[in-house]
């Protein structure tokens, strides 16, 4: 345009006409030149998707299950394969495509849900929560957080339902759960053995008299108008006749329950944790649990401290972050006071069962 204005001032009309034509012609030639230089589309590529060309080129060689090669770190393979001229170009804009298949990151990151390799099967109020919380700080252990009650209450839901409750684990990790009522449920040993005969079993046992009082204390906290402990524990206290049908009493007959388990599992596949030693020497008990599970002894006394307020061992603050961890208020309640005579009567009642249990497992737990 500047050219046209200049000519209109300086030249007569006939000359002006020739000058304008010259000007338009040179503009047209410049345009043709521009188009020929950038005709390969590098100014505005047709497809902004950096993966599309790559997918097309490789598709013939790939099987459907193979990963899409263009999902590898951009540039790693493609820069070597591209012609030099193309490599000099500015990088194509990164496009977010919803239809690009995602790599299976969840699989890589979290592993798979597996049926448990080891189960804490009992006993109620034995210290089962403490064992699970202590063993699960081991990096090779992952555990279901809540009691699943699969083998006693939810068996009809099937193994896939059960598996769904498990945490994701890597190949090297073991899966665990705890449901203390399993130990006294008749069908459970058969059902666990039907799932996997090599399932490792852990039983946390505790003096059956203190266990019964602990059980009663828990029930009383939820049902304040419960009859007294003595009323429930004895059919006739003056004659020393214990009511074996009361659950709090029945659970403590360890020898009887164990007989049922030994029909389906060898003794070597069952590990017994002392509920008493779990409080006085948690690291020692955890060392034995780790050995039984075939784990490296990683959970050691470094991990515990005795919390005076709680009156129990708790987990120390992890090095990285977090805070010290004690079990909740429902663990370590102050027990209901039971008179000495009733306790002595219950000790007499349990003694033969305890002795039988010590013989069966080859260990004296010294419940006196």
Ligand X SMILES: Nc1ncnc2c1ncn2[C@@H]1O[C@H](COP(=O)(O)OS(=O)(=O)O)[C@@H](OP(=O)(O)O)[C@H]1O
When binding is defined by CB under 6 A, the residue of 78, 125, 200, 271 that contacts ligand X is 125
Q: Which of residues 200-259 bind ligand X (CB under 6 A)?
A: 214
132: number of Cβ within 10 Å: 20
Examine residue 130 and tell whether it contacts ligand X (CB under 6 A): yes
- Annotated active-site residue 125? The verdict is yes
By CB under 6 A, residue 179 contacts ligand X: no
Beta bridge partners of 177: 119
Q: Which of 97, 95, 96, 77 is nearest to 87 (CA)?
A: 77
Q: Which residues of 263-294 are buried (b: 16+ CB within 10 A; e: fewer)?
A: ebbeeebbbbbbbbebbeebeebbeebbebbe
129 is in an annotated binding site: yes
Choose among 264, 255, 270, 267: nearest CA to 121: 270
* Separation between Cα atoms, residue 88 and residue 84, nearest integer Å: 7
Question: Counting contacts by CB under 6 A, is residue 333 touching ligand X?
Answer: yes
Tokens matching residue 99? 């239809």
- Which residue lies nearer to ligand X by CB, 111 or 332? 332
| Nearest distance from C-beta of residue 336 to ligand X, angstroms | 10
Q: For ligand X, which residue of 331, 336, 358, 360 counts as binding (CB under 6 A)?
A: 331
Size of the site for ligand X (CB under 6 A): 17
**Residue 284 in contact with ligand X, rule: CB under 6 A:** no
Neighbouring residues of 200: CB distance < 8 A, sequence distance ≥ 6: 117, 118, 119, 269, 271, 292, 293
CB 287 to ligand X: min, Å = 16
**Which CB sits closer to ligand X, 87 or 317?**
317
Q: What is the DSSP string of 152-170?
A: TT-GGG-HHHHHHTSPEE-
What is the smallest separation between the CB atom of 143 and ligand X, expressed in angstroms?
Answer: 13
- Candidates 113, 114, 125, 317; catalytic one: 125
116 binds ligand X (CB under 6 A): no
**53 Cα distance to chain centroid:** 40
Residues serving a catalytic function are: 125
Residues in contact with ligand X by the rule CB under 6 A: 124-130, 180, 214, 278-279, 312-313, 327, 331-333
Binding site listing: 125-129, 206, 214, 331-335
């Amino acid at each position: 345009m500047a050219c046209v204005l200049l000519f209109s001032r300086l030249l007569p009309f006939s000359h002006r006409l020739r000058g304008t034509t010259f000007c338009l012609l040179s503009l047209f030639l410049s345009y043709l030149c521009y188009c020929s230089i950038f005709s390969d589309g590098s100014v505005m590529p047709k497809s902004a998707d950096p993966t599309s060309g790559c997918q097309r080129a490789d598709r013939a060689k790939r099987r459907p299950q193979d990963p899409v090669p263009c999902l590898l770190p951009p540039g790693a393979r493609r820069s070597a394969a591209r012609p030099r001229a193309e490599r000099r170009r500015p990088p194509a804009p990164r496009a977010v495509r919803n239809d690009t298949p995602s790599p299976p990151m969840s699989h890589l990151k979290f592993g798979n849900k597996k049926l448990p390799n080891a189960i804490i099967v009992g006993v109620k109020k034995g210290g089962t929560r403490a064992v699970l919380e202590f063993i699960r700080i081991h990096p090779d252990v992952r555990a279901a957080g809540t009691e699943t009650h699969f083998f006693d209450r939810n068996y009809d839901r099937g193994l896939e339902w059960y598996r769904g409750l498990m945490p994701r684990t890597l190949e090297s990790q073991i899966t665990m759960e705890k449901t203390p009522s399993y130990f006294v449920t008749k069908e459970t040993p058969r059902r666990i053995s039907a799932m996997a005969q090599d399932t490792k079993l852990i039983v946390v046992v505790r003096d059956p008299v203190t266990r019964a009082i602990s059980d009663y204390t828990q029930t009383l906290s939820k049902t304040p108008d419960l009859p007294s402990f003595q009323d429930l524990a004895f059919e006739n206290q003056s004659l020393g006749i214990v009511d074996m049908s009361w659950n709090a009493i029945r659970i403590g007959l360890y020898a009887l329950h164990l007989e049922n388990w030994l029909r389906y599992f060898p003794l070597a596949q069952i590990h017994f944790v002392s509920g008493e030693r779990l409080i006085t020497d948690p690291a020692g008990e955890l060392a034995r649990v780790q050995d039984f599970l075939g784990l490296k002894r990683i959970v050691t006394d470094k991990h515990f401290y005795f919390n005076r307020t709680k009156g129990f061992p708790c987990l120390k603050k992890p090095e990285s972050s977090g805070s010290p961890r004690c079990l909740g208020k429902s663990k370590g309640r102050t027990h209901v006071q039971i008179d000495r005579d009733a306790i002595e009567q219950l000790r007499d009642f349990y003694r033969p069962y305890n002795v039988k249990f010590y013989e069966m497992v080859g260990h004296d737990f010294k419940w006196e």
